[in-house]
């Protein structure tokens, strides 16, 4: 494994020369690069100003303002309390299960409250750069909840014959009573596909179907619709669990999310990762990479932001090495004898991709 940072264009050129499909996986860094308001620290300040309880505030401070970390620790705490028959003190009314629920709701609400209200808050040039970047890939997956990719799809000049590079499988019948679009895998076009692995703010479940809120049929900003739904205790389809195993359970409970995850597990060729730190909270994602269908995912390209020698980036590089080692352990002897199944890993400077500029 070569940890030398390549320019994105060079990494892409190598992938093209090797051959095979090129898939894209987006983490929170993709959204932060466009709109810094999506950073965990900013979300924390917003949640605090919205009336987050003092003891939850103390937990977030303790664990670096990372909602997912605190959710994971609360979940572990509930298990340990039950495992060791621990009793809640009569001196406190704090309850970990209630705090877990409150923090999940706070995360969803805060992301919504902190989200730009209109696409116009993002410059047209940024969306054009993003679309240009997306056209390099044969499929895209994201774990982000925000509307940036949906908004990017609105910045297509259809009068010039332009099309958004991906199909998300959501469509609407002209005579449908619901103004929103419903998901149908069979309706996905021949275009490259886009899946929201952890759901998104504009997705929701109703009557057993997954729906996508859309702008052009109602004229009402999607974020406004989401906030109105919150006030009625109706939440979007998003995976906010702290532990990977719990995330996977939530994924498996949804027809759309489980379909998206199965599609991700079947990727092959090249996977470009942008804005994700390979954290253990997403071990289900990492396991899908390691155990891709018949080990046909052969090349992993990981974007590194900033100094590659920083502690954070060294940790990402070490995790990538671990993924490669785990794949090596799992490759069947039959494939090994043919020199197949190995996971090759390369790194690129994420800033050189110029996604938003």
Q: Write the DSSP string, 328-347.
A: HHHS-HHHHHTT----EEEE
Structure tokens at 106: 């706070």
- What residues contact 351, with CB distance under 8 A and at least 6 apart? 305
pLDDT at 175 over 70: no
CB 270 within 8 A of CB 298: yes
Beta-bridge partners for 75: none
Euclidean distance between CA atoms 25 and 264, whole angstroms: 9
Average pLDDT over residues 10-32: 97
pLDDT at 232 over 80: no
C-alpha angle 351/355/357, rounded to 5°?
85
Mean pLDDT is highest, among 7-11, 72-76, 203-207, for 7-11
pLDDT in tens, 291-322: 998 899 999 999 999 999 999 999 999 999 99
Residue 312: predicted pLDDT: 94
Q: Choose between 44 and 8: higher pLDDT.
A: 8
The predicted model scores a pTM of 0.85
- What residues contact 130, with CB distance under 8 A and at least 6 apart? 34, 148, 152, 355, 356
pLDDT bin (cut points 50, 70, 90) of residue 92 is low
Average pLDDT over residues 171-180: 74
pLDDT at 211 over 80: yes
């Amino acid at each position: 494994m070569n940890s030398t940072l390549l320019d994105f264009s060079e990494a892409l050129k190598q992938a093209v020369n090797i051959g095979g499909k090129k898939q894209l996986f987006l983490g929170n860094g993709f959204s932060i690069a466009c709109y810094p308001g999506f950073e965990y620290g900013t979300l924390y300040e917003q949640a605090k100003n919205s009336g987050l309880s003092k003891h939850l505030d103390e937990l977030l401070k303790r664990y670096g303002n990372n909602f997912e970390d605190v959710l994971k620790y609360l979940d572990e705490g509930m298990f340990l309390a039950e495992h060791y028959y621990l009793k809640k003190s009569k001196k406190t009314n704090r309850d970990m299960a209630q705090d877990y629920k409150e923090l999940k709701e706070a995360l969803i609400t805060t992301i919504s409250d902190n989200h730009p209200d209109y696409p116009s808050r993002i410059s047209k040039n940024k969306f054009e750069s993003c679309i240009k970047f997306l056209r390099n890939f044969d499929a895209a997956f994201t774990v982000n909840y925000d509307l940036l990719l949906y908004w990017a799809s609105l910045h297509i000049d259809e009068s010039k014959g332009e099309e958004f590079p991906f199909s998300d499988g959501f469509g609407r019948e002209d005579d449908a009573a619901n103004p929103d679009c419903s998901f149908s895998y069979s309706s996905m076009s021949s275009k490259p596909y886009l899946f929201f692995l952890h759901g998104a703010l504009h997705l929701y479940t109703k009557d057993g179907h997954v729906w996508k809120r859309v702008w052009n049929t109602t004229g009402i900003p999607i974020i406004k619709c989401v906030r109105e739904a919150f006030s009625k205790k109706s939440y979007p389809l998003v995976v906010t669990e702290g532990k990977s195993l719990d995330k996977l359970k939530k994924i498996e409970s949804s027809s759309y999310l489980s379909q998206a995850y199965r599609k991700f597990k079947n990727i092959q060729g090249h996977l470009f990762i942008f804005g994700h730190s390979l954290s253990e909270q997403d071990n289900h994602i990492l396991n899908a990479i390691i155990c891709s269908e018949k080990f046909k995912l052969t090349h992993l390209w990981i974007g590194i932001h900033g100094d590659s020698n920083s502690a954070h980036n060294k940790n990402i590089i070490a995790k990538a090495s671990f993924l490669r080692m785990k794949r090596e352990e799992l490759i069947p002897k039959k494939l090994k004898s043919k020199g197949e199944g190995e996971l090759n890993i390369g790194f690129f400077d994420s800033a050189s991709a110029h996604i938003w500029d």
